[in-house]
Structure 1
Amino acid sequence: MKTSILVFGSHEFLATLPDQIHDASTFNLKVSIDFNQAVLHIQIVQPDVIFVQASCQDSIRVCRWLKEQNQLSWIHCILLEDRPQQLIDKSLSSWEWEFEMMANALNQGADAYIWLLTEETNNRLTTATKILILSQLTVGVRKVKKYRELMNTNDILSAIALADSLTDLNNRRALEWDLPRQINKARSQDTPLSLIILDVDFFKKVNDQHGHLVGDRLLQLLCSRLRHNLRSQDTAFRYGGEEFVVLLPHTNGDEALTVAERLNRIVREQTFAINSQLHLQITISLGVAILQPDDDEKGINLLHRADQCLLAAKASGRNRVITWGQYSQASSLETVSGISRGMGV
Structure 2
Amino acid sequence: MDASILLVGGDGFLATLLDRLHNLLNCTVEVASRPSEAVPLIQAQQPDLIIVQANQPGSLELCYEIKGQAKLAWIYCLLLEIPSQMLEPDLRRTWEMEARTEALEGGGDGYLWLPQKDAQGEELKPDEIAKQDRLLRSQILAGVRAVKTHRELMRTNDILSAIALSDPLTELNNRRALDWELPRQIQNAQTRSESLSLVMLDIDYFKRINDTYGHPIGDRALQLVSSRLRHNLRFRDTLFRYGGEEFVIILSNTDESEADLVARRLCRLIGEQPFMIDEGLDLTITISAGTATLRSTDDGRGGSLLKRADQNLLKAKSTGRNRVVSSVEVTTEES
TM-score by length of 2: 0.90
**d(CA) in 1 for partners of 2:234, 2:290:** 18
Report the equivalent of 2:227.
224
Contact 2:257–2:328, Cα closer than 8 Å, also in 1: no
Q: RMSD in angstroms over aligned alpha carbons?
A: 2.6
Q: 1:80 to 1:129 in 2, by over 3 A?
A: same
- 2:45 matched to 1:45? yes
Deviation, 1:3, is 2.5
Contact 2:292–2:309, Cα closer than 8 Å, also in 1: yes
Deviation, 1:96, is 5.1
The one-character-per-residue Cα deviations of 1:57-116 (angstroms, maximum 9, x if unpaired) are 112222222233343221111111124568x8x996464553343233222222111112
The one-character-per-residue Cα deviations of 1:247-299 (angstroms, maximum 9, x if unpaired) are 11122222222221111011111111111111111110011111112211011
**d(CA) in 1 for partners of 2:226, 2:176:** 18
Contact 1:201–1:319, Cα closer than 8 Å, also in 2: yes
Report the equivalent of 1:81.
81
TM-score by length of 1: 0.87
Contact 1:172–1:238, Cα closer than 8 Å, also in 2: yes
What amino acid maps onto 2:115 in structure 1?
L
From 262, 270, 281, the equivalent of 1:278 is 281
**Superposition map of 1:16-35 within 5 A:** 16-17=16-17, 19=19, 21-22=21-22, 26-35=26-35
What amino acid maps onto 2:144 in structure 1?
V
1:330 match: secondary structure: helix
Deviation, 1:45, is 2.1
**d(CA) in 2 for partners of 1:2, 1:290:** 52
Deviation, 1:18, is 5.2
Q: 1:327 to 1:11 in 2, by over 3 A?
A: same
- 2:107 matched to 1:109? yes
2:299 match: secondary structure: coil
What amino acid maps onto 1:255 in structure 2?
E
Q: How many residues align?
A: 329
Q: 1:127 to 1:246 in 2, by over 3 A?
A: same
Report the equivalent of 2:325.
322
Unaligned runs of 5+ in 2: none
Deviation, 1:30, is 2.6
Deviation, 1:26, is 4.8
**d(CA) in 1 for partners of 2:269, 2:172:** 18
1:255 match: secondary structure: helix
**Superposition map of 1:63-102 within 5 A:** 63-84=63-84, 93=91, 95=93, 97-102=95-100
What amino acid maps onto 2:302 in structure 1?
G
Bigger Cα displacement from structure 2, 14-23 vs 58-67: 14-23
